[in-house]
Each structure stands twice: as structure tokens, then as C-alpha cells.
Amino acid sequence: MRLVRLMAALTAFAVLAACATTDVDPLSADMRPSEETDEAGLWLRMDEAEDLLQQSAVVVRDPALNAYLDEVFCNVAGEAYCDDVRVYIVEQPYFNANMAPNGMMQVWTGLLLRAQNEAQLAFVLGHEFAHYRQRHSLEQWREINNVANASVLFSVGVAAAGVPNAAVLGNFTLAAQLYGYGRDKEREADAFGFDYFTGAGYDPDAAAGIWEYLIDETEASDSERKKRQIARASIFSTHPVTAERVETLRRFADDAETGRENEEAFAAAIAPFLNDWLADDLVLRDFGQHLYLIDHKIEAGENLGVLYFRRGEAYRLRREEGDFDRALDNYRKAVLFDDVPAQGWMALGDALQRRGENAEARAAYGKYLELMPDAPERAIIEAWLEEKE
């Protein structure tokens, strides 16, 4: 529950950092607002939210992955702004990233799971950096003050981190609906973000490509509600995707020079986490969307041991007609690759045992125990192996 409340609080603060139209100058490097300004108050609240995030178990702290994202961000934002923004990788299975006015950026693991190369990641980071540099949060904050008491909205976020009651949650939901990103500011962030990431030498087609992929994946969803709300992970979706936005990004790309995708570097960076992130995504039980995601990654030809295993798990849990055979077929494929997780051998053994193919099951279980000498299932497996001798 504490995790849910923390994420709700951070989202509430992010809602307050959304976009609207006012006249402010872009943020200079190393700049902090004067203490007597309303912007300073907004930054103070975000600093408090960042303190909460830093202490949270949802933050992925792997040094190599964090260093990789920091490097990509610095490539996009430039050396002058490199130290002004702190990128936090947040373990959540949805496609999302957000930018707070004080320089706190969140990138969710569901986004890293769905990006296909470094260029697509770079565009998202550039888009979020544009929100920061153009001070969209300050614009929105001042508009909020025209229609509501800002302290009430802040109390919503604080309460969400504690023990909120039904009334608070109702106000929190209303705030999310009222203060999402405006399309004008999304267009502006797209334009600046496009310039930032292509200026760093990335492939211009990646900007539209990541949204086109996300739309296609969502259309494969089992949920009709998701299909009606393309690319919305929750009520707090702050990046509405429209055909107009995709078309505009395609038009930008037509006028830009070609660039690099860095697909291999990106694949190597996320490879150690792919199995766990796919397991998190499967918990959502949207088999159509999940299988589309895996199928698309299999086409790229990387991490096939993990991907075939995870596809087998999806079929095993879906349990539609023919899914058992599909699961077994994918487990068999998975163990042909060196990157298959140890659980792949266990899953193969279970499926073969169910089929009555005990000799092959013994071999699969044996490989699993070899890879996992301290496996919690060791006693059960060894008892079965002894029984079938």
C-alpha cells in the first residue's frame, strides 16, 4: 500500500507540473528560481517529492543501467544541462515518463521495455527535457491558481502518500482529469524534443516510430477500453497520442538528416532486466498486448531465450484452446539459446511431465537444478526424479 500511495503522490505532483499556455522564458542552465517567487514554492514541493522517490523501493538502482540513461540524456540535452536533471528509472510496467520542474525525471520500466532502440528513448528524453526547459510546469501552476487553491491540490498529493480517505481520492481523481497535458504544450515539447534528439545525431524516424508502435500494441489489447483510449495507461496519462501528432513528427523526419538508432547498445543495456520486466507486464493479464510486445521483439532477433520463455509463460497462463502446445513449443525453442532463464528449464520440465514425456522432463529438471542449486523446488523435483527412476 505504501508503494501505491507513494506513486499516487508523485503522480499528483507530476499532474501539477503539466502544460498550459503562459508567457515565461526558457529555463537557463544551473538556474533555480528566486525564493520569493511562486516558482520557488513549486520547486520546493517537487524537492520533497524527489526525497520520497529517492527512498522508494520502486527505483531501479542498477549502476550500469542508470549510467546508460544518464549518458543518453546528456547526449540529448547537452553538457550545460546535463547536471540539472536527475533521471530516475521507476519499476512500473506501463509506458510512461514525466518531468518535474525541479529537474526530477521519471522513466518507467514499461517504457524501456517498449522502446526499440536508443533513438526512440532519446526522443522521449528530449520531449521531457523540453517540458523542463520551457517551464511548462510554471505555466500550468499559474493557471491552476486561477481556478483552484493550490494548497488543496498539494494536500491531495501529500494525503496520497499517507492514508487518504475517499473524499481525498475523489479530489485526486478530479485533479488528474482537469490538469493533464494540453495538446499545445505537447506539440511544443514534440518540436523542441525533436530538435534536441536529432541535433544529437539520432534517427529522426524514431520520434513517430515509438508512438506508432505504441498505438499498434494498444490496438492488440484484450481490453476494448484501452483500444478506445489509445496509449493511456491510466487516468493519469499525460501524453495523449493523436494522428495529428504522429503525422507532424513524420513531417519533421522528412525534412531531417538521417541519424543513428543504436539498437544494439540499447538492447545490451536492457537485456539483464528483460525477463523481470516482461514478468511484471504479464501480471497485468492483457495477453493480446503482451504477446504483441513479445512477438515484435522476437522479430528483432535479440534475447530470444528470454523472449521464447516469456511467450511460453503467456500461453501457459492464458489457457485458450491450443495454448498448452504453444507454450511447450516456445519452451523448447527457449532452451536452445544461451540467454534462456533457469526458469525456462523448469517450465519445460513441468510441461513435459504433464505430457508424460518423463525422460525429457528428467533432463530438463536436471538442467534447472544444475543452474539453480539452491532452488526452492529442489526437494519436490528430486522426489519426483527418484519416483520415476
- Which cell is 378 given? 529442489
Question: Helix 183-199 to helix 205-219 angle, to the nearest 10 degrees?
Answer: 130
- Give pLDDT, residue 3: 53
Q: In what helix (H) or strand (E) does residue 106 lie, and over which residues does it extend?
A: strand 104-108
The SS3 of residue 130 is helix
**Domains located in the chain, CATH noted:** 2-254 (no CATH), 271-387 (1.25.40.10)
- Give pLDDT, residue 67: 99
User: Residues 247-272: pLDDT tens digits?
Assistant: 999 999 999 999 999 999 999 999 99
> Residue 5: what residue type?
R
The SS3 of residue 59 is strand
> Residue 139: what residue type?
E
d(CA 334, CA 343): 10
Which parts of the chain sit beneath pLDDT 70? Answer: 1-22, 144-181, 229-241
Q: Which one, of 78, 48, 53, lies nearest residue 3 by Cα?
A: 53
Number of Cβ atoms within 10 Å of the Cβ of 20? 19
User: Residues 89-112: pLDDT tens digits?
Assistant: 999 999 999 999 999 999 999 999
- Give pLDDT, residue 241: 62
Phi, psi of 26 (to 5 degrees): -60, 150
d(CA 195, CA 282): 35
- Which cell is 238 given? 499525460
- Give pLDDT, residue 343: 98
Cα radius of gyration rounded to whole Å, the chain = 23
- Give pLDDT, residue 7: 57
Q: Name the β-bridge partners of 260.
A: 202
DSSP 8-class letter at 303? S
Q: Is-contact 131 192, C-beta < 8 A?
A: no
d(CA 207, CA 249): 6
